[in-house]
Amino acid sequence: MTRLSVNINKIATLRNARGANNPDVLKTAMDCERFGAQGITVHPRPDERHIRYNDIIQLNDVVTTEFNIEGYPDERYMKIIRDVKPAQATLVPDPPGVLTSNAGWDTVRHQEFLKKIIHEIKSVGVRVSVFVDPSVKMIEGAAKAGSNRIELYTEPYASQYHNNKEQAIAPYKEAAAVAHALGLGLNAGHDLDLHNLRFLKQSIPLLDEVSIGHALICDALYLGLENTIQLYLRELR
């Protein structure tokens, strides 16, 4: 079964807009798990505009499913990983100040850097996933660097889905086959929603995990959080 990890960054964004603690990030994470989510994802930024370091420390005490921490592996991020030791560290190549992740790693150009970082993270018992475009060369580079998994950057798939879904999914099917052949686990994320998720899952049955935040939280405004999580889980079954 493909696991659903809910990214709760947007809950923290809403809280931070007014200060105080409403909505409560910890309660939301626990409720997501209670409603069926099999993981919680956060992506702390250097300016702490949504998830904060203290949130991560507290979340680590209450998350009972898989805790996934995304981010660019600078010293700040590496300290978080060493302190928290989440189930998974997802390495994303976004520089400070970027609005959202918009590309995968060039695992060839950054091979030695990634190899060093991945070795350090794995040495503290944390699974590593590398965020990549659906490129055979980039996936091979992730495997060579020692990653346990890759996370396919799915914004191009989501953008093309309504025009030609077969064309949109084609590079991802090839990428998934290569990843499986190399012994890599397979995650996916970015712009996945209730419209395009089922076709992705049907086309890539060996998908281990999807990480979904923005669309899921937007849907929850209309449908309620519990109902929304159940709807996303249904698309993955």
Termini Cα distance of the chain = 7
Q: Which of 167, 169, 151, 165 is nearest to 212 (CA)?
A: 151
The separation between CA 124 and the C-alpha centre of its own chain, rounded to angstroms, equals: 20
What is the CB-side half-sphere exposure of residue 34 using CA atoms within 13 A? Answer: 9
Cβ neighbours of residue 7 closer than 8 Å, sequence gap 6 or more: 41, 42, 43, 70, 189, 211, 212, 213, 214, 216
Whether residue 50 lies in the annotated active site: no
Which residue in the list 33, 50, 66, 70 is annotated as catalytic? 70
Q: CA-to-CA distance for 138 and 150, rounded, in angstroms?
A: 10
Q: CA-to-CA distance for 25 and 8, rounded, in angstroms?
A: 7
72, 94 in Cβ contact below 8 A? yes
Which residue in the list 33, 50, 190, 209 is annotated as catalytic? 190
The count of other CB atoms within 10 Å of the CB of residue 109 is: 11
Whether residue 119 lies in the annotated active site: no
Which residue in the list 43, 50, 151, 209 is annotated as catalytic? 43
Query: Measured at the alpha carbon of residue 122, what is the angle toward residues 120 and 127, in degrees to the nearest 5?
Result: 135
Whether residue 214 lies in the annotated active site: no
Which residues are known to be catalytic? 43, 70, 190
